[in-house]
Amino acid sequence: MNTISILFALPLLVIFSYLFDAFARKTKFPAVILLLLTGVFIRVITSANGYINFEFLNDLIPVLGTIGLILIVLEGALELEINRQKLPTILKGFLSAIVILLLNIVVISWLFNYFLGMELHTATIFATPLSIISSAVAIPSAANLLNQDKEFVVYESTFSDILGIVIFNYAIRQAESGQPMIAIESIVGLGLQILGIVAISILITYVLFRLLQNIEHHVKFFLILSLLILVYAIGKFFHLPALLTIFIFGVFLSNIKELLPKFLLRYFQLNHSEKGLHEFHILTAESTFIVRTFFFLFFGFSIVISDFDSFMPLVYGVLVFAIMFLIRYLYFVLTSFKIKPSVLLYMSPRGLISILLFLQIKDLEIIQTENSVIDERMLLVVILTSMLVMTLGTLSNKQKSIPEKVILDEEEMIGLNSSEGLTRAGFH
């Protein structure tokens, strides 16, 4: 393709992605599916016209996916509101994320181990990406839910992303060292490592926040994003859960007034920083939109229709999702004491993180993926099935989101300062 063709294609793809996003908000049909199908369609057209060399995607997709992962976790953390009133929802979201994630990993690992003859380490490594909820899909899809349900989806999916990646890296380390998957010494070591990362993350967060406040140059937000990506890369190089740093930084920025004691707040010049923080949030959201757009387009483009020459990926994909859906159903029945749980039952789509971790499995020397029946085809079936079930579930849901004006009126009625209410509403 020449320069003019590319200049036509790139903006058109962004425009289509924007239209898909608007369509998704109106219909609750995930824009990600439309992006994937667009990528598949473009691949069919280009292949029919003789373009067959697309090896560059093998390197491009993981890079886009990693940057998208960082941005999505950062954006999700910036959306989180931490205060005493939110603690029950935060706790419910965390418990739901960790319990359902662990149950999915255990059951699917056993399934792969017993029926497919996989080693337990390999089965666990394959099961983990399939078990992680995609915040990149879940959070936008929850836009029309009641505010409490929407907050639950944000908390649960964000925690699922971070916990899933920590468990995935832990499983790889256990497999590479030949140790049992559940070893007290390794679990204690992981806990201490996480505590150390949290302490380092708080220090890094303080330094980055000071930079954000003190840089006078008109271009500073991309510098902060670049530093965050560098921190993540360093963490990955040393096999550390560096995504926690991104999460802590985002939570700190959006909740500094609630997290810091009042006597420390005067040292941070928050009134001067609020506009900048709001602009940083907008930049993060728009950057996430662009990266997510091209990641799913390129992933769809990498799919070759002719590779689906077997019926088995469809069978395994639907079976795996059915088991995970049953686990989620039982969890919500037992915790809500209702036979027919709320719409939250359907809010467990798979997406970017599952794809990214599956691509990492290919690079592991300890796992032979050439003849494995658990591959990208089965992953694609799980992703599409989970998104379609989520779509059907939200379409059948009759609840409406509470208008923002009503929320602000309620805040004023309970005595909140109106200017603070508007600032919080604008920032989040």
The per-residue pLDDT for range 286-320, each reduced to its tens digit, is: 888 899 899 889 888 888 777 777 788 888 899 99
24-33, 88-97, 220-229, 418-427: range with highest mean pLDDT: 88-97
The class (CATH top level) of 3-397 is: mainly alpha
How large a percentage of the chain has pLDDT more than 90?
21
Q: DSSP state, 311?
A: S
Least confident of 44-53, 118-127, 399-408: 399-408
Which are the contacts of 65, defined by CB distance < 8 A and separation ≥ 6?
A: 295, 352, 355, 356, 359
Q: How far apart are CA 107 and CA 130, in angstroms?
A: 12
Q: Is the pLDDT of residue 77 over 50?
A: yes
**Enclosing H/E stretch for 268:** none
- Dump strand ranges (E) for 102-168: none
The whole model's pTM is what? 0.83
Exposed e or buried b for every residue in 20-43, given b needs 16+ CB within 10 A? bbeebeeebbbbbbbbbebbbebb
pLDDT (mean) for 377-404: 77
Averaged pLDDT for residues 78-85: 79
Residue range 237-287, pLDDT digits in tens:
877 778 888 888 888 888 877 777 665 666 666 665 666 777 888 888 888
What residue spans define the domains of the chain? 3-397, 404-428
- What is the mean predicted confidence (pLDDT) over 121-143? 89
CA–CA distance, 133 with 98 (Å, rounded to integer) = 11
Question: What count of other Cβ atoms lies within 10 Å of the Cβ of residue 84?
Answer: 7
Most confident of the ranges 170-179, 202-211, 399-408: 170-179
Q: Looking at beta carbons, which pairs linking 222-228 to residues 24 or more positions away fall under 8 Å?
A: 222/283, 224/280, 225/71, 225/283, 225/284, 225/287, 228/70, 228/74
Q: Minimum mean pLDDT among 111-120, 200-209, 316-325: which range?
A: 200-209
- Measure the CA–CA gap between 167 and 327, rounded to whole angstroms: 19
Determine how many CB atoms are found less than 10 A away from the CB of residue 334. 10
Q: In the prediction, which pLDDT does 369 show? A: 67
Give the other-Cβ count within 10 Å of 271's Cβ: 8
- Proportion of the chain above pLDDT 70, given as a percent: 87
Cα 99 to its chain centre, rounded Å, is: 18
Distance between first and last Cα of the chain: 42
CA 230 to chain CA centroid, Å, is 19
Burial of 403 (0-12, 13-18, 19+ CB in 10 A): exposed
Diameter over CA atoms, the chain: 67
What value does the mean pLDDT take over residues 201-205? Answer: 86
Looking up tokens 């020397």, which residue turns up? 365
Rounded Cα distance, 222 and 244, in Å = 20
Q: Could you tell me which residues come within 8 angstroms of residue 424 by beta carbon, excluding any fewer than 6 positions away?
A: 81
Q: How far is CA 362 from CA 36, 125, 338, in A?
A: 21, 11, 42
pLDDT of res. 363: 80
Confidence (pLDDT) at 72: 82
Q: What percent helix, strand, coil does the chain show, rounded to 5?
A: 80, 0, 20
Averaging pLDDT over each range in 26-30, 31-35, 147-151, 381-385, which range is the top one? 381-385
Q: Is 413 helix (H, G, I), strand (E, B) or coil?
A: helix
The reported pLDDT for the residue numbered 271 is 60
| CA 333, chain centre distance (Å) | 25
